[in-house]
Amino acid sequence: QVQLVESGGGQVQVGGSLKLSCSVSANNYRLATIGWYRQAPGKEREAVATLDTRLGSLYYAESVKGRFTFVGESGTNVLHLQMNSLKPEDTATYYCALHPPGLNFWGRGTQVTVSS
């Protein structure tokens, strides 16, 4: 079975930093896209930072380039999203996700609120 558990959300002021973590239990899915998405109130869910493990390619949304970093913790099934220089528009629920071919697995999400 697949389980994704996020942690590390919270409230931070503009310009601050947060580090999200996702513990992944999915030993049978090695060729997949994995990463972080977010959904703000009234908006569609969007990809923030994802890794295609088949191609080895890393994607960042244009709005977070240079501020967010996708970090894989070596030797563990934990991945992180380091978020720096946070802006009010980064306020959203952040989800960890695993997408093997034809499948979609999501964590429950963690709230990030950036206040000015």
Q: Which amino acid is at 73?
A: E
What is the mean pLDDT of the segment spanning 32-54?
95
Is the pLDDT at 9 greater than 70? The verdict is: yes
Q: 29: pLDDT confidence band, cut at 50, 70 and 90?
A: low
Per-residue pLDDT at 71: 92
pLDDT in tens, 52-80: 988 889 999 999 999 999 998 777 789 99
Q: 21: pLDDT confidence band, cut at 50, 70 and 90?
A: very high
Is residue 47 a contact partner of residue 68, using CB atoms and an 8 Å limit?
no
> Quick count: other Cβ atoms within 10 Å of Cβ 88?
11
> Quick count: other Cβ atoms within 10 Å of Cβ 68?
22
